[in-house]
Structure 1
Amino acid sequence: MTSYTFLSLCFLTTYYSFVLCDYYKNDSPLLNSPFNNEQIKNQLDHIHITYENIPTITREIFKKLSLVKKLEIEFCNVKSVEKNSFWGLENLRKLSLKHNLLTEIQNNTFSGTNIEELDLSDNQIERIESTAFGHMHNLRSLKLKNNRIQTYQNTWFKLTPNLCSLNLQNNFITSLPARILDRRGIWSCSIDLILSYNRIEEVDEEAFSNYKFNKLYLDHNNINVLPSKVFSNSIQIMDLKLNNNRIVCTLPEMKTVQRYDVSANLWDEKCLLEFEDKKVTTSTQEASTTERVFRYPPGRDIFPPPFHSSMGRFRYRSRPPYYMRF
């Protein structure tokens, strides 16, 4: 097993329920840190580790922390996580590995856990194996924003029946397949799906079929044309963002959408006027007050902010909006 040498500076709250550790290179082994103490480890429920150098997370490091509920390992230069590294942590509900150097997520990495919230943001993830999130039946929230993911696979979520929040903002995704969560029948909750700031050009007509969305954000992509029934196949979409794409004229049916924003696209002026006069039909009473938001003229100037080494890539922000409402 790989050994690590660090000086631990840890703060323990009353009754050892929480430990906050910052590690700096020295001569004290990681596994002899305060949260490995026999008296303490069985009482900890929250561990936050920052600024350590842990290139690989193994099962040995945390296997005896059976009562921990929240584990945060951030800014620790983590490059890989071995399979089943968190096996046996039955009480673990929240896991954060953000701001590290992960490049891939292997199959069954998180098997044997009851994790509800998983944050893998701000890494360098390019590849996720097909069942990387397999057997995560309690997973409700997954954050993968600010990475380098190019290909979206619906098989990732075949065995995550309770997933209700998925954030893939600021990646390199170019297309969305049918049945984005790879589940037949009706999903168990209203979904928040954030796909802003990617490179999406193609969306399958069945991508959102039979799902109910609280948020569906497809803004700041490269979408030019959408299939006519791509949104009407869904049960309901409360908030849809299509702004800052490359749509010139044609929009799909919006009968299941309550509120949507299509501003800052490459609108043809004549088409825009025709769209203003077009009556929007709705399928539910709640959606009968559909709000349409446009921005004209359709400026698309993009300004990159300063680069930060923890980001998967640059973040882009558009010029402050000049709105017209119809």
Structure 2
Amino acid sequence: MISLQTLVFFVILCENVLSCRSDVFDYKISKPLGMNETKFYNVDEISKCDDNDLVVVDNQYIPELCCKLVACKNALESIIFKNCFIREIEENCFSNSVQNVRYVIGVTYNYITTIKKHTFRDLVVTEIHLHDNFIDELEDEAFLHLNNLSMISLDNNRLKVINPKAFTLVPRLEHLSLTANHITTLQAGVFSFLPARNSYITLACNKIDQLKKIAFDGLSSRFIVILNLNGNRIETLPEDIFSNHSFGLVDLGYNPLTKISRYFCEKQCVMERFWFDCTFLTLEDVEFIVGWAKMKEVDLGASGCPQYNLTFKARPAKYCSGAKNFGDAFSCQLYVCFYLVLRFLL
């Protein structure tokens, strides 16, 4: 049995290792590809980083990401915080501190639950990565006035609904990725914030059980949409669900489809590729889809019906398994703590 003194020593050790002192933050600043120079800054020197630096912060303990920690007046290439136990991002954190990040802002493999209003505002960044957190709420105007933003990744979080008001004035947004959340339904006009240009919407591995035509209200019919619904719980495709829209791909693979309307893609519906699962469909439904695809010149892919010689990509098991992957989020500091306590025990 571990003695009281040993437990006290262990707790003190962990507190020291995981303490939020400025002298334990190591910011790795690396030059863009093609340049070999790499610099290291501590938290007090981050404001002195050079133009075009890539800032990567990994395996640190930063409970709150605040303005003073990311302050840099120069134009950075990207800034990424990974495995840092971040639970909260201070309001206007990036807008006030790093307005000139050119490419990527990333806060991944952390413990954030809410993206607050104006967290990302008036930036020139092109991509925002927030995957592998615990985000269950996007406040209105969380992403505001981002003229160059083309991609947002919110994969592997806990969102139950998509708040279209969170995305305001994002005129170049092309890729919205929401794989492996807890989304159950797509409300009316949920994609209305997407600009009038080609869009890639990824909703694989959620809990969506039905599709309604009103979900696509406000989504421009003049541009091609790639819609990934792989690994959900959709059972039926109702009449005109995809009418008056153009799709580069509708991916319904690994959904328990049992019924498909003969008019699911009828009025001014354009579709280049359609992927589905035959497992629970009747032979009549499968033959209808095969005939429809041939007549409309749609590239067809399917799983569950090998007799039709239709190939289909595998389900993304990493996300659809239902288990959150914490492997990358387990910091080296905790490994040290566990190693030391095992030394005491043995």
Task: Quote how far apart the aligned CAs of 1:13 are.
Answer: 5.5
Using a 3 Å threshold, how does the CA distance of structure 1 residues 148 and 308 change in structure 2: closer, same or farther?
A: same
3-state secondary structure, aligned to 1:216:
strand
Do the aligned residues in 2 keep the contact of 1:158 with 1:181 (CA within 8 Å)?
no
Residue 164 (structure 2) aligns with: 154
Compare the two structures and name the one with the higher helix fraction: 2
Compare the two structures and name the one with the higher strand fraction: 1
Larger radius of gyration: 2
Using a 3 Å threshold, how does the CA distance of structure 1 residues 59 and 197 change in structure 2: closer, same or farther?
A: same
Which amino acid is the alignment partner of residue 143 of structure 1?
A: S
Task: Quote how far apart the aligned CAs of 1:210 are.
Answer: 1.8
Using a 3 Å threshold, how does the CA distance of structure 1 residues 13 and 148 change in structure 2: closer, same or farther?
A: closer
3-state secondary structure, aligned to 2:284:
helix
Using a 3 Å threshold, how does the CA distance of structure 1 residues 98 and 20 change in structure 2: closer, same or farther?
A: farther
Alignment of 1:259 with 2:269, yes or no, is no
TM-score in terms of structure 1 length: 0.77
Residue 284 (structure 2) aligns with: 270
Question: Structure 2 regions of 5+ residues with no counterpart?
Answer: 1-18, 307-314, 330-346
Do the aligned residues in 2 keep the contact of 1:19 with 1:35 (CA within 8 Å)?
no
Runs of 4+ in 1 over 3 A off after TM superposition: 5-21, 273-282, 302-307
Q: Give per-residue Cα distances to partners, 1:73-115, cap 9 Å, x unaligned.
A: 1111111001110124232131011111111111111113222
Output the aligned Cα RMSD: 3.1
Alpha-carbon distance in structure 1 between the residues aligned to 2:63 and 2:293: 57
Alignment of 1:200 with 2:211, yes or no, is no
Using a 3 Å threshold, how does the CA distance of structure 1 residues 16 and 108 change in structure 2: closer, same or farther?
A: farther
Residue 92 (structure 1) aligns with: 101
Alignment of 1:111 with 2:125, yes or no, is no
Residue 49 (structure 1) aligns with: 57
Using a 3 Å threshold, how does the CA distance of structure 1 residues 12 and 96 change in structure 2: closer, same or farther?
A: closer
3-state secondary structure, aligned to 1:262:
strand
Counterparts of 1:287-326 in structure 2 under 5 Å?
A: 289-297=297-305, 304=321, 308-309=325-326
Q: Give per-residue Cα distances to partners, 1:52-85, cap 9 Å, x unaligned.
A: 1111011122233332231011111111001110
Do the aligned residues in 1 keep the contact of 2:250 with 2:274 (CA within 8 Å)?
yes
Do the aligned residues in 1 keep the contact of 2:293 with 2:300 (CA within 8 Å)?
no
Identity of aligned residues (%): 20
Task: Quote how far apart the aligned CAs of 1:43 are.
Answer: 3.6
Residue 141 (structure 1) aligns with: 151
Residue 248 of structure 1: which of 254, 258, 266 is its match? 258
Task: Quote how far apart the aligned CAs of 1:167 are.
Answer: 0.5
Task: Quote how far apart the aligned CAs of 1:219 are.
Answer: 1.2
Residue 336 (structure 2) aligns with: none
Alpha-carbon distance in structure 1 between the residues aligned to 2:198 and 2:286: 31
Alignment of 1:233 with 2:241, yes or no, is no
Task: Quote how far apart the aligned CAs of 1:240 are.
Answer: 1.5
Alpha-carbon distance in structure 1 between the residues aligned to 2:39 and 2:212: 47
Which amino acid is the alignment partner of residue 92 of structure 1?
A: V
Alpha-carbon distance in structure 2 between the residues aligned to 1:167 and 1:193: 6
